[in-house]
Amino acid sequence: MLHISLNTYTRLDGQSRVRLMTHLYIKEDGHSLYGFWTEEERSLFRHLISVSGIGPNTAQLILSGMQVSEIRGAIVSGDADTFKRVKGIGAKTAQRIIIDLKDKVEKEGGEISLISTGKHNTLRDEALSALVALGFQKLAVSRTLDKVMKNAAEDMSLEMLIKTVLKELSA
């Protein structure tokens, strides 16, 4: 069986042939195979499982709940609250992820999303909660929010953000 994140799963939709990056995780009681859409996702998975207290299932939960660039941005900016939103991640584990991976992530460079960090974090979380409560899928809302917030004005209100995301989702 191949374990994949929700992000990888959504990319597979409608594809008849795909190429995935894999990671074989070996432990005493068995072997598990994990699949990833991109090399960046696999690399981040490997970094995450190197952190004490983070196993492959927790790493997959993190990768399923956020985009790779969002995770990398949270690590670089030291935003522990982003990780605490993931089931099973507490304050200590979130801090451990940041401390253990900050240098590694900064060295790799690449695309880092700071959209969901800092002052926009609360606005984004509130909009996400409201839209999920309306029945939209969390992953689709999260991606659309990132896209809208990337192009949004600094002083965009919560109401305007939700309206804009609703228009994008219904298009």
Whole-number Å distance between alpha carbons of 77 and 129: 23
CATH of 120-170, one of 3.10.450, 1.10.1060, 1.10.8, 1.20.120: 1.10.8
pLDDT range class, residue 115, cuts 50, 70, 90: very low
**Residue 95 — pLDDT band, cuts 50, 70, 90?**
very high
Determine the pLDDT at residue 170.
82
The better pLDDT of the pair 143, 57 is held by 57
* 143 Cβ neighbours under 8 A, 6+ residues apart: 67
Long-range pairs for 157-166: beta carbons < 8 A, 24 or more residues apart:
158/123, 158/126, 158/127, 158/130, 161/123, 161/127, 162/127, 162/130, 162/131, 165/127, 165/131, 165/141, 166/131
CATH code of the region 2-108: 1.10.150.20
The rounded percent of the chain whose pLDDT value lies above 70 is 92
**Could you tell me the pLDDT band of residue 59, with boundaries at 50, 70 and 90?**
very high
Percent of the chain's residues with pLDDT above 90: 28
Predicted TM-score of the model (pTM): 0.64
Do 120-170 and 2-108 fall under one CATH topology? no
